[in-house]
Amino acid sequence: MHGGVRVVAARGLAAGWPGDSAARNGVLRLTHDEDEEILEAAARELAAGWPGDSAARDALLRLVQGPYWFVRVVAVMALAKGWPGDTSAHDALFGLIHDDDDLVGRTASQALAAWPNDAADGVPNSERL
């Protein structure tokens, strides 16, 4: 399948079957693709279709460490949207504040500034940043 078709497939799986485990597994498989457009689409759709799902969170935690800055940005936004208050997501975003790409770092900082204060240790994130 060509990249564009797989991007549309990822969007269709999330939009057509949100919460469905078989559709989720299809999108999770896309998070192992080599094409950065596929990775970006998969990150976006995991938060849209399966917020709070631990397997989706784990895939996003892997994607925030990947080589493509725009995939990292989308994965940061997805973690902030779908897993607010999750300690693992919080820690990953905190580690991205000083990312090599300024946009990734700013996006992580903004996500943490809006994070629930009791996410990790009760210290307001605005004081931590």
Residue 43 belongs to a domain with what CATH number? 1.25.10.10
Q: How confident is the model at residue 90 (pLDDT cuts 50, 70, 90)?
A: very high
Comparison of pLDDT for 19 and 64, the residue scoring more: 64
By residue range, what is the domain housing residue 96? 3-128
Task: Tell me the two tokens of residue 100.
Answer: 């090599």
- Model confidence at 2, in pLDDT bands (50, 70, 90)? low
Structure tokens at 56: 């989706």
Instruction: Write down the pTM of the prediction.
Output: 0.82
Provide the number of structural domains found in the chain: 1
pLDDT of residue 127: 58
